[in-house]
Structure 1
Amino acid sequence: MSAATKRIVVFGGNGFLGSRICKSAVARNWDVTSVSRSGTPSWPTVTSTPHPPAWSTSVSWERADIFKPAQWIPLLSNADYVVHSLGILLEADYKGLVSGRENPLTALSKVFGANSAHQTPNPLDRKPGDRQEVVGGKQQLTYEMMNRDSAILLAKESEAAGVKGFGFISAAAGAPILPGRYITTKREAEEVIAREFPQMRGVFFRPPFMWDSGRAMTVPLAAGAAAASTLNKATGGIFGGFLGAAAIKPLKADLVADAVVEGLADERVKGPVEVEELERLGTKGWRGNMA
């Protein structure tokens, strides 16, 4: 690895977007580490093939729990960039719901409950380098825990490790089927990271609905979102407040991934990155990767 090679650590790097961020960084010849609870991706869930793609051999697939810092703090050493690509859409155990392990009424009550209990200690109260577990045992994950507190925890340790740029995968807006806390916890994370860690360049990527032909179910959903976006524009945006992200033009997941890597590489990019800027950065990054 040459002295000029950048090093990026992607938390949630085995997911739908996270794996594509790793792929884009590999295309730039960066040193890439993915951190997730399961390590290597389940390829059929993130791509159109069950076989690992060629680029995946250039990624170090590490296993760690975001709420157990002792497992991942050493991985931040000498990192130029860290990306938080973790989060949940639904607080219910949707896998358990689908498989029948969880009662449907119980699951739905978790999704649309007024306010789930906040089980995570304030990440800002932790001392830099403290490796004590943040939470223990099997607990129901909440928006506050995953969308907000885990991001603040990672940002705090990243700044302490001397990381130059911190990328947070936020969201363009909420959606009618999701509780309002989904998007409010994302925005709270952005605000706290920007305020508390000014020495580290924070970039808050706000993608809309993302699609990829390798995940077949996203294609018709993207088509519906595109139609809703066109209708919303034609009517002067009157449906935007109700439809949320469903009224915003969807983007291909690979384009968003290229935008994340390009945005981190460009020191002029800072703060919230909206959909239009994501398109610009993604196109620029794609062209750079093809050069």
Structure 2
Amino acid sequence: MKSLLVFGGNGFLGKRICQTAIEHGFKVTSLTRSGKPPRPMISSEKDWISEVNWRQCDVFDVNGYNEYLQDATNVVHSIGILLEDSSYKQKLKSNEPFKMSSPQWGNNPLKKDSKFTYEMMNKQSALKIAEELAKIPVAAEKRTFTYISADRGFPLVYSGYITSKREAEMGLMRLEEKLRPIIMRPGFMFDEVVAASKGGKDLRTAFKTVFDTFNFANRLILRNKLGFVNELIRPTVSTQQVSRAVIAKIEDPTFSGVCPLDEILDV
């Protein structure tokens, strides 16, 4: 059976990658800090959740996950942060107003976790896993390593976010002789199930509505003719669509390298 090991498998995107992989006949193991499965949003999600092997590990402790790498033919890194402040993830799950200027969203150097940085979470965690995977000899075709990168940076988000993503990409491509790197560059993501269940009132869907409105206006009024506007206003994409693209690229033995947002949307 095809196997898939997902780091961050109970996260916002990671759980959808696990779901799509199960639906495509993969044997799936998820490794996360808690080791717990995600809470089902609808009753039907209990079926695929029960089929995933949920396990706990510290992504920075090689000894904690090396045994899982041995038999993994495909590995996905779905760990990353948008801000160097862990509280923002809880805010995105709530219905509270999102105010980047508020002190609660800022970085408090006295409370900052040395591991919760762009350098560590977005870059070093991925490179360390990939380097360990590359050490394992393979008799048949190369193992795949899929990295969830990003299409662009986001307004009001520090430049270190996209810099760490691009540096991780370059490091992964240097392992191309031993692995088949797959680099996904989605834009702003929302979840179709969450959007439907909450009636579009959750924070991510609210952001999606704003971004989609700007994107529609760009197409209708400007006809996508201004390059700098096209660079700023990008389409949103669902976690389900990104997950389908991830599995499609894994199952395509001829693909390696970068899968841009436009290609993700076409899968």
TM-score (norm 2): 0.82
Aligned twin of 2:36: 40
Q: Does 1:148 align with 2:118?
A: no
Aligned residue number for residue 272 of structure 1? 258
CA distance in 2, matches of 1:187, 1:260: 18
Q: 1:170-185 alignment to 2 at 5 Å?
A: 170-185=149-164
Residues 1:219 and 1:105: Cα distance change in structure 2 (over 3 Å):
closer
| Overall identity of the aligned pairs, in % | 32
In the other structure, the counterpart of 1:167 is: 146
Aligned residue in 1 for 2:72:
79
Aligned-pair CA distance for 1:231: 3.4
Structure 1 residues without counterparts, runs of 5 or longer: 99-103, 112-116, 118-137, 282-291
Change (3 A) 1:248 1:106: closer
Inter-partner Cα distance in structure 1 for 2:241 and 2:56: 26
User: How many angstroms does 1:260 deviate by?
Assistant: 0.4
Query: Residue type of the partner of 1:78?
Result: D
SS at match of 1:72: helix
1:62 aligns with 2:55: yes
1:224 alignment partner in structure 2? 210
Distance 2:88 2:153 in 1: 22
Provide the rounded CA distance (Å) in 1 between the counterparts of 2:253 and 2:108.
41
SS in structure 1 of the partner of residue 193 of structure 2: coil
Deviations 1:86-142 (A, max 9, x none): 0011102316997xxxxx64851459xxxxx9xxxxxxxxxxxxxxxxxxxx63510
Q: Mark the runs of 5 or more structure 2 residues left unpaired by the alignment.
A: 92-101, 196-201
CA RMSD of aligned residues (A): 2.5
Cross-structure match for 1:9: 5
Cα contact 2:33–2:57 (8 A) shared by 1: yes
The separation in 2 between residues aligned to 1:72 and 1:158, in whole angstroms, is 11
In structure 2, how many angstroms separate the alpha carbons of the residues matched to 1:11 and 1:106?
A: 28
Q: Is the 8 A contact 1:91 1:143 kept in 2?
A: yes
1:250 aligns with 2:248: no
Partner Cα distance (1:88, 1:228) in 2: 25
3-state SS of 1:239 partner:
helix
8 Å CA contact 1:91–1:140 kept in 2: the answer is no
What is the letter of the counterpart of residue 28 of structure 1? H
2:16 is aligned, of 20, 27, 31, to 20
Do the aligned partners of 2:78 and 2:148 also contact (CA within 8 Å) in 1? yes
The match for 2:106 is 108
**TM-score normalised by length of structure 1:** 0.75
Distance in 2 separating the partners of 1:51 and 1:24: 14
Q: Across the two proteins, how many residue pairs are aligned to each other?
A: 241
Q: Match of 2:208, as an amino acid?
A: A
